[in-house]
Structure 1
Amino acid sequence: MADQLIDYVADMGYTHVELLPVMEHPYDASWGYQVTGYYSVNSRYGTPHDFMYFVDRCHQRGIGVILDWVPAHFCKDSHGLRNFDGTTLYESPDPLQAENWQWGTLNFDFAKPEVVSFLISNALYWLDVFHIDGLRVDAVAFMLYLDYGRQEGQWVPNQYGGKENLAAIAFMKKLNEVIFQHFPAALMIAEESTAWPAVTKPTYLGGLGYNYKWNMGWMNDLLRYMQMDPVHRKWHHHLLTFSFMYAFSENYILPLSHDEVVHGKRSLLNKMPGDYWQKFANLRLLYGYMIAHPGKKLLFMGGEFGQFIEWNEDQSLDWHLLDYEMHQKLKDYVKALNHFYRAERNLWELDHEERGFQWIDPHDYSQSIVTFMRKGQDPEDFLIIVCNFAPVVREGYRIGVPCLGEYFEVFNSDLRIYGGSGQVNSLAVAQDTPWHNQPFSVEMKVPPLAVVYLKAINKKWDKNRNERD
């Protein structure tokens, strides 16, 4: 992989790779999430030095490496941690607390200092010895709540009668404090699927101390929306707009992960409704909207070229699909989108601050269109994003803009080179017609099932805008 994958990742414009757990595990179908050897690199793929070589090659190409890490539970195989010294060393002696019925595993006992030491030392080991850039901590929600995934009678309340796992909370806070003490630039990412507050706030402010959290709410809402026939989408417009209500409450990553393309959920491309052309158009739209939405981005392998079947750990991705025109064009689209994203500071510079985002119109549910701005540190620089979730071209569509000037199309998912219908915009001159609570407006063509990004040149600002603001 070091000699093949990394060049591909760099060429595609990605900044990081995230690996499913590389720790030793006995069962292939667990994908590494049921670990036996926490300090052992999976021998299926080579030696520890081979893995070091892989990480080093990533860094030479400017690619960061994130590892999925599983501190919540471990598998029951006798050659693992279960009854390690003949006693319940890593798990609780109480079967009700030790047993993980959801996954058929055992839970770590975070009340034991030696278990906390083992796990934090393990996290440091991967960062120190292998130069990993960050850890995505698996199943954080499961650790936070004593009753998570359990039926009545399968859990024991904490000392105050609540469902919070106080020992696990203390463990995670200490984990992040120690990691950032030794590796201040590390990425500590929580896979946390509930509304637990302050996951990405520092521990001294009462937070858990992570610096990123997966936005599972955004993912679930968006995929539910995108799977609908476009004729029904206008009645579920809130699934597009609700995520902006909480987008800045945490430092979010927008994940389209392995969990969404397995177990009968279908691949991303195959989730999309419509005929063959519409499936690709919908997926290009989804990716374009995702790139423009506040938060960092994660896309599972195969999504970039439109894998049609679900991911299967027993076989390679369907690289042969690149012999087909639409799959190759989708790959070209994702590559162009990634490189555009990296070059456009407005899309990431203020990702976690409200001043980096502004609605133009979130209310056009009848036409399934949303329009908003992304901004960077320069208050007079902005990018306008127009997303059309209906398979209809909108001619003469008027949107409000903050200043006079000429607005040109810098990115369009409907270009023919990406497999689109070729509905493009020529230069549009802003008019002195207030619209969408903006002092000026432009008319444009909105292509079907597509996203368009607009930039302004020769900008002229309203002299009274500061007084009005």
Structure 2
Amino acid sequence: MVVSTLYPTDFQMHLFHEGTFYHSYQLFGAHVFSENGRGVTRFCVWAPSARIVRLVGDFNNWNGTDYTFHRVNKEGIWMLILPENLEGSLYKYEIVTNDGMSLLKSDPYAFYSELRPNTASRVYRLDSYQWSDFKWQVKKEKKLSFSEPVIIYELHFGSWKKHANGEFLTYLEMADELIPYILDHGFTHVELLPLVEHPLDDSWGYQGTGYFSPTSRYGAPHELKYFIDQCHQNGIGVILDWVPGHFCKDAHGLYQFDGSHLYSYEHPNDRENDIWGTANFDLGKPEVQSFLISNALYWMENFHIDGFRLDAVANIIFWPNSNEEKPNLFGLDFLKKLNKVLIDNDPTVIIIAEDSTDWPQVTTPVDYDGLGFQYKWNMGWMNDILEYMETPSQNRNEVHQKITFSLLYAFSENFVLPFSHDEVVHGKKSLLNKMPGDYWQKFAQLRLLLGFMMAHPGKKLLFMGFEFGQFVEWKDKEQLDWPLFDFEMHEKVNVYVKELIKVYKRSKPLYELDHLQTGFEWIDVNNSDQSIFSFLRIGCDADDFLLIVCNFTEKKYSNYKVGVPNECKYREVFNSDQEQFGGSGHTNKKILKVEKRVFHGKPYTIEINIPPFGISILRPVKSRKERKGSGKEKVRSHASSRGER
């Protein structure tokens, strides 16, 4: 049966083979239509090296004899239209190669897949969900992330929490369980490890087979939409880990799809990714570009994803198996093309590069010769601060530069500061257990580390479990150690994290100018003997700033002198050593007065208590009475003039 209106147009095929068919998923894959009141199901696949393509499924007893595709063009687009509604049916493509081999392949554009270990695709309609996140979409357009607080909770869907019998929570159950938890802690976004269909649980989704297919481990696609919809209705952004560099080599997937290396590079040295046992996408092939860019838009348009964290960008920027760092021009051009298309489609989209290289202008717009990402993971900061924290406190004076070095390049890109899953797995220990010292010191240093992270320029990302001091590293086959909430210090560090996030979100100097040098100023950067650092974080209004003092040793100080830029009083608005957080209580409870004495190159000096392994955040304040329309008087604290500095 031929229904001409359902066949691809010459223009669509031209765009696909040109690498600019950015909605190719609307043509390829399985689609259900209504023609003259009857159900029709269309299948379309790209397989230029195939001699024959047949459709097999549960509707024909997996026998494709009478279900042979028609080749639409010489470039290898095949199509089959059946006069029946096959919604919900399982299917695969039987591809007979030029050398006579018969391959059974899942649909690269399938919208739903069979539950692993089975590997068939499932016919699924995309229009089965009604969204209710209009207010979120409007809010996003008004507030771009650069000048807003961003603190991301990175999450592995399958091990955050499980049922007593070890089974996964579903998308629907996670909406009920996770969203209140995120709201209670104050995270602005949740970042999900890849949810594309993948055969092996141990890959955490980073080795996918079904790029258009949300994994069926946790439910159906419309149930994932419900989860995202509920996140949006509660003011939570959703970022998806996405892997456009390499793919899984399982027999039913993209690898040698039609007998040729269709989706991957032809040359083995370019194709084979020995680190992960995967195959690298041929990012110079136009049809692969159409596939991948279309996939990103698919997640944005059909699942309302707010952004992507691109995995292993170094594997795209450079040829992976080169003995020297040889730029991959195909990969670089692809990244520019991808990012420009996504941002042109939705200027609010957040695109983050997990990039371990020193490639320049990663977060510079494409029109200004950059790669076009909004953010880049600051891997250098992460490695330096963890090395510093893992150094015994008495030796930290020897690695003083591990704290200071990041500020030499902190404004060269728009950075996200990451403590991700990669840092708490494979023997690396949890954040808490990385800290040296005794039990109390470990918790004190974790609080200090998190406080310093919030005060350092850059948006924030932390992997699940940090918020209550998970003691063992992440175990992807088990849920988080929720019973730790029964222990006092773990409960107190959770209280600390909640309060710290509140302080971060309500303090504009901590996020407004993350990307500009004017948002940061050292007060004392040279005190390596005591391992004490002091600096200012400054908001868009230059009169709005915070003074931060960090002590990276177990010694405490009273009447410690710090230079300040102006003549006013100071109030401590946060101290990690408060007793409610598990600290010793060495805080600054009273308003602090300044003395007109030059110190640290500043015209004024204050004396403060410095807590052991602690961070203090102070704000210059001045009280004034302000009459409101109601006639009631209200005392308000506000930043005073910073004066000459």
TM-score range, shorter chain: over 0.9
Shift of 1:95: 1.2
Are the counterparts in 2 of residues 294 and 347 from structure 1 also a CA contact under 8 Å?
A: yes
Are the counterparts in 1 of residues 620 and 640 from structure 2 also a CA contact under 8 Å?
A: no
Q: 2:398 is matched with which residue: 213, 217, 235?
A: 235
* Aligned: 1:290 with 2:463: no
Q: Find the counterpart in structure 2 of residue 436 from structure 1.
A: 600
Q: Find the counterpart in structure 1 of residue 483 from structure 2.
A: 320
Shift of 1:461: 5.5
Are the counterparts in 1 of residues 543 and 642 from structure 2 also a CA contact under 8 Å?
A: no
Q: Find the counterpart in structure 1 of residue 57 from structure 2.
A: none
Distance 1:61 1:437 in 2: 46
Q: Find the counterpart in structure 2 of residue 41 from structure 1.
A: 214
Q: Find the counterpart in structure 2 of residue 350 from structure 1.
A: 513
Alignment CA distance shift 1:165-1:46 (3 Å): same
Q: 2:548 is matched with which residue: 379, 385, 389?
A: 385
Distance 1:287 1:180 in 2: 32
CA offsets per residue over residues 75-94 of structure 1, 9 Å max, x none? 11011100112211101121
CA offsets per residue over residues 110-167 of structure 1, 9 Å max, x none? 1100001100000000011000000000000111011x4x364xx9xxxxxx810000
* Aligned: 1:69 with 2:242: yes
Read off the aligned partner of 2:474 and give its amino acid letter: W
Q: Percentage identity across aligned positions?
A: 56
Shift of 1:372: 0.3
Shift of 1:183: 1.1
* Aligned: 1:141 with 2:314: yes
CA offsets per residue over residues 413-453 of structure 1, 9 Å max, x none? 00000000000112210110011111111011100000000
Larger radius of gyration: 2
Shift of 1:381: 1.5
Distance 2:357 2:247 in 1: 22
Shift of 1:299: 0.6
The alignment partner of 1:452 has SS state of strand
Q: Find the counterpart in structure 2 of residue 52 from structure 1.
A: 225
The alignment partner of 1:365 has SS state of coil
Shift of 1:33: 0.4
Distance 1:307 1:368 in 2: 27
Are the counterparts in 1 of residues 544 and 640 from structure 2 also a CA contact under 8 Å?
A: no
Q: 1:23 is matched with which residue: 196, 220, 235?
A: 196
Q: 1:450 is matched with which residue: 614, 623, 638?
A: 614
Read off the aligned partner of 1:37 and give its amino acid letter: G
Q: Find the counterpart in structure 1 of residue 99 from structure 2.
A: none
Distance 1:446 1:454 in 2: 12
Distance 2:585 2:640 in 1: 31
Are the counterparts in 2 of residues 402 and 461 from structure 1 also a CA contact under 8 Å?
A: no
Q: Find the counterpart in structure 2 of residue 159 from structure 1.
A: none
Distance 2:178 2:189 in 1: 12
Read off the aligned partner of 1:88 and give its amino acid letter: H
Read off the aligned partner of 2:465 and give its amino acid letter: G
Q: 1:102 is matched with which residue: 275, 280, 291?
A: 275
Alignment CA distance shift 1:304-1:461 (3 Å): closer
Are the counterparts in 2 of residues 254 and 298 from structure 1 also a CA contact under 8 Å?
A: yes
**Within 5 A, what are the aligned runs for 1:185-334?**
185-334=348-497
Read off the aligned partner of 2:568 and give its amino acid letter: G
The alignment partner of 1:222 has SS state of helix
Distance 1:344 1:460 in 2: 15
The alignment partner of 1:404 has SS state of coil
Read off the aligned partner of 2:418 and give its amino acid letter: P
TM-score, length-scaled by structure 1: 0.95
Shift of 1:8: 0.5
Read off the aligned partner of 1:60 and give its amino acid letter: Q
Read off the aligned partner of 2:358 and give its amino acid letter: A
TM-align CA RMSD: 1.2
The alignment partner of 1:334 has SS state of helix
* Aligned: 1:178 with 2:341: yes
Are the counterparts in 1 of residues 246 and 278 from structure 2 also a CA contact under 8 Å?
A: yes
Distance 1:242 1:196 in 2: 18
Are the counterparts in 1 of residues 272 and 279 from structure 2 also a CA contact under 8 Å?
A: yes
Alignment CA distance shift 1:440-1:460 (3 Å): farther
The alignment partner of 1:68 has SS state of strand
Are the counterparts in 1 of residues 542 and 642 from structure 2 also a CA contact under 8 Å?
A: no
**Within 5 A, what are the aligned runs for 1:418-437?**
418-425=581-588, 426-437=590-601
Alignment CA distance shift 1:462-1:56 (3 Å): closer
Distance 1:45 1:381 in 2: 46
Q: Find the counterpart in structure 2 of residue 158 from structure 1.
A: none
Q: Find the counterpart in structure 1 of residue 286 from structure 2.
A: 113
Distance 1:462 1:280 in 2: 35
CA offsets per residue over residues 247-270 of structure 1, 9 Å max, x none? 000000000000000000001111
Q: Find the counterpart in structure 2 of residue 85 from structure 1.
A: 258
Read off the aligned partner of 1:448 and give its amino acid letter: P
Q: Which runs of 4+ in 1 moved over 3 A?
A: 459-463
Q: 1:11 is matched with which residue: 184, 188, 197?
A: 184
Distance 1:284 1:355 in 2: 27
Q: Which runs of 5+ in 2 are unaligned?
A: 1-173, 623-638
Alignment CA distance shift 1:260-1:119 (3 Å): same
* Aligned: 1:404 with 2:577: no
Shift of 1:378: 1.2
Alignment CA distance shift 1:462-1:228 (3 Å): closer
Read off the aligned partner of 1:248 and give its amino acid letter: F
* Aligned: 1:337 with 2:500: yes
Distance 1:12 1:165 in 2: 42
Higher helix share: 1
Distance 1:111 1:378 in 2: 46
Are the counterparts in 2 of residues 416 and 422 from structure 1 also a CA contact under 8 Å?
A: yes
The alignment partner of 1:409 has SS state of strand
Shift of 1:408: 1.1
CA offsets per residue over residues 310-329 of structure 1, 9 Å max, x none? 11111100011000000000
